[in-house]
Structures are given as C-alpha cells and as structure tokens.
Amino acid sequence: MKKKTISLVLALLMVFSLLPVSAFAANTVQSGKCGDNLTWTLDDAGVLTITGTGEMTGHPWSVYKDSIKSVVIGDGVTSICYDAFSTCSGLENVELPDSLERIGGSAFSHCKALTEIVVPANVKALGEFSFYFCTGLKKAVILGSIEYIDGYTFDQCYALESVSIPKSVKSIWTSAFGACHELKEVYFGGTAWQWAAMSIDDFNDVLDNVTVYCALDYPFTDIADSGYREYISIGQAAGIINGYPDGTYRPNNPVTRAQYVTMLYNMCGKPDASGYEVSFNDTNTISASYMDAVKWGVAMGVINGYGDNTFRPNKDISRAEMAAFSYRLIKLIVGGEPTDELKADCSFKDSASIPNVHREAVNVCANLGIIQGFSDGNFRPNSTANRGQAATILVRVAASLGSDE
C-alpha cells in the first residue's frame, strides 16, 4: 500500500510539473491607469492590485466593484482618492502601504464585508466618511499621525468593537463614531490626561461608555491593546520581564527557551550562578546575557537539554515546554510532589497531543489556574508561546507560590 501511495504522489508531482503556471495563477480580468504613475489590475479571484508611485487620481474599477474581494495597494502609493472603493460590498481585505499619506473622504464607505482595517503610520489625513456604514467592521487601528478624526469617519459602523487612536489626535469631529453602539474599547496612544483634554464634538455619545486604555499609562508603549497588558505591567514592576530599548515589549513576539528561563531566573531574584557550569554541545550558542540563567536553571533542575545533549537556546519555546519549566520551578520552591487531584487530567480537547514528558506539568499548571486553553477548548501544546503569554504565566506562577493554599 505504501509503494502505491508513493507512486501516486510521484505521478501527481510529475503532472503538476507539466502544467503551465497559468493553471495556478489568477488571470487578469481588467487593468488600466489610476494616476500619473499608478496602474491597477483586477484578477478573476477578485484581487484588485494597485502599483506605482504617487497619488491616486481616479477609480476606474468602480464598474467592477461587485467583483472586488481584496485590495492590495503597493508601496509607493501616497494617497487614496475620494470614493475610491465606496460600495464595494464584497470587499473583505485591504492591505495599505507604509508610503500612504492620505485617505480621501468616503474611500471605503459602505464596504459592508470589511471586518478590520489598519491605517498606516504615515497617514496624516483621514477624510470624512472614510469608513461610513462599514457595518461589518469590528476593529480599526489608526497608526497614523493625524490630528483629528474627521466627521462621520466611522459613523454607522454598527459592529465596531475596538479602535486604536494615536496620541497625535487632539479632536474627534461630529459623529465620527455615531451609532457605533458595540464600541467597548478605545486604545489611546497618549496619557489619560491627554484623553481627558480631547475635544469631542456632538453625536459621539458612545465614547462616554467605553473603556479607554491609555498607552502611556503602561510601562511599554505597545501593550495598551494587548489582552496581556495587566500581567505584562505587573511583571515589569516586579522585575521579572524587560522590554526593548525603544520602549516596546512586543507581546506577540515568540519567546525562546533561553529567554524564558531568564524570566524565571529574574523572578527568583537572579541568584548567584558563578559556581555553576553547563556542558551542552551547543553551549557556545548561548548568549552571555542568558548564560547565568541557563547555568542556574540546569543546576536547579528547572531546565533540561535534549537527547543529543543540546539545549537549543534560540529555539522558540512551546506552550508545553513553558508549562514544564514553570512546573519544575514550583516543585523546587515548594519542595514536594503535587496531590493526585492536581495531577488529574486537565480535560483540554487536544490533551492527547500533549507530549508525555510534559503531561504532568500541563495538568498541574492547568489545575492551579496558571495556564489556560483557548476559547475552542484546546491547549495547543506544541504551538509557540509569545511574550505576552510568558508574562502572564510568570505572574500566575509567582501568585501561586505566594498564596497560602
């Protein structure tokens, strides 16, 4: 059976190798110019691509608007003209370039299938009615340096739940968020004082009832809209975690094995590791900034290497490994074995995929409330852990060790 399967795969590969590229590539349906130095193409998959440099001066694709599913604007384009993609009711995805400086009025109005938009950092002007009546829009992130949010920008965006506003904004004009009744969270790049001083015009009553997270009220500039922000703040205050020189924490970045053991080491007060040594085959790949933590981790039994006697310090740590490192530290400090109740199966839907070597650690950490699964009931043990998750686990570990239970 195996031979037949391999033969079939090889046959298919040979057939695919003989097919022309056009058999896989989307075909251009329409094309033309939309600026002095801009061209556009619309393919049969509904992808509208705009390339070139300079300003957009027209939207000749409007006669095909019902076919447009995705818009990709290439780097070099500096502006989007008035009404550019208005009433493209099937538009689901928009990619805007860093070169963009201006988005014209009503540019994306009535794009009812659009669920998320990110306005790039160099945008200085966002025209009125830009996203008017985008009834499916749930999240808007404005990274630009605009000074005001123009009138009716997000008016009638009934599904809008969260919006990120840069600290450069000083005023919000008439009905910019009119009828955005689902809006619950605003992430503001300035201070609470700056938000309090914000000039907000009429028909923006929904802003009276939202939770406003001010970036500069947190220790890092990029965590206000992170679900891990409170844990990151506590971790930073406790000296467990550190950010980057530019003031960011980068909560969605992955964590390496060396970085996580260093966080555990910091949590324990950075004990003297001068008397410890490590003899991994890849010791020379361990950064000097992590070496003391790795030495301590090995000596305390918090971390182990692999069967080939490597530590792989720069390998992204998995969620299961993060639980294992944490569990070993808990056992070290508590000085005993957990109860059978704590070792009981954690009942994640994908618990069968938890490596046996990490199963007890995951079960105990889950039953202690240190780790949690996702909304779908899975733990995803082999997925890479990010910096936000790491901060959360570390703070929970510290809390569990500090409790009387």
List b or e across 96-127, with b for residues whose CB sees 16 or more CB atoms inside 10 angstroms.
bbebbbbbbbbbbbbbbebeebebbebbebbb
Cα-Cα-Cα-Cα dihedral of 230, 234, 236, 237, to 10°?
Answer: 140
Helices (H), 308-381: 319-334, 340-343, 356-367
**What pLDDT, on a 0 to 100 scale, did the predictor assign at position 107?**
98
Predicted confidence (pLDDT) at residue 25 exceeds the cutoff of 80: no
**What pLDDT, on a 0 to 100 scale, did the predictor assign at position 24?**
42
Predicted confidence (pLDDT) at residue 300 exceeds the cutoff of 80: yes
**Band (26; pLDDT cuts 50, 70, 90):** low
**What pLDDT, on a 0 to 100 scale, did the predictor assign at position 221?**
87
Read off the pLDDT of residues 304-336 as tens digits, 9 standing for 90 and up: 999 999 999 999 999 999 999 999 999 999 888
Predicted confidence (pLDDT) at residue 405 exceeds the cutoff of 80: no
Mean pLDDT of 105-127: 96
Predicted confidence (pLDDT) at residue 239 exceeds the cutoff of 90: no
Quick one: CA dihedral 293, 294, 298, 304, positive or negative? positive
Residue 183 neighbours by CB under 8 Å, 6+ apart: 160, 161, 162, 163, 177, 206, 207, 210
CA distance 194 to 102: 25
Indicate the burial class of 91 (C-beta count within 10 angstroms; 0-12, 13-18, 19 or more).
buried
**Band (89; pLDDT cuts 50, 70, 90):** very high
Distance (Å) of CA 170 to CA 19, 31, 76, 193, 383: 57, 40, 28, 12, 41
Read off the pLDDT of residues 60-71 as tens digits, 9 standing for 90 and up: 999 999 999 999
Predicted confidence (pLDDT) at residue 11 exceeds the cutoff of 50: no
Q: Are strands 38-43 and 47-52 parallel, antiparallel or unpaired?
A: antiparallel
Read off the pLDDT of residues 217-232 as tens digits, 9 standing for 90 and up: 788 988 988 889 989 9
- Flag the least confident range among 43-47, 133-137, 172-176, 401-405: 401-405
Predicted confidence (pLDDT) at residue 4 exceeds the cutoff of 90: no
Indicate the burial class of 36 (C-beta count within 10 angstroms; 0-12, 13-18, 19 or more).
exposed
CA distance 103 to 128: 9
**Band (13; pLDDT cuts 50, 70, 90):** very low
Sheet of strand 185-188: strand arrangement: 116-119, 139-142, 162-165, 185-188, 211-214
CA distance 229 to 114: 27
**What pLDDT, on a 0 to 100 scale, did the predictor assign at position 238?**
83
Mean pLDDT of 105-119: 97
For the chain, the average pLDDT equals: 89
**What pLDDT, on a 0 to 100 scale, did the predictor assign at position 402?**
65
CA distance 156 to 136: 10
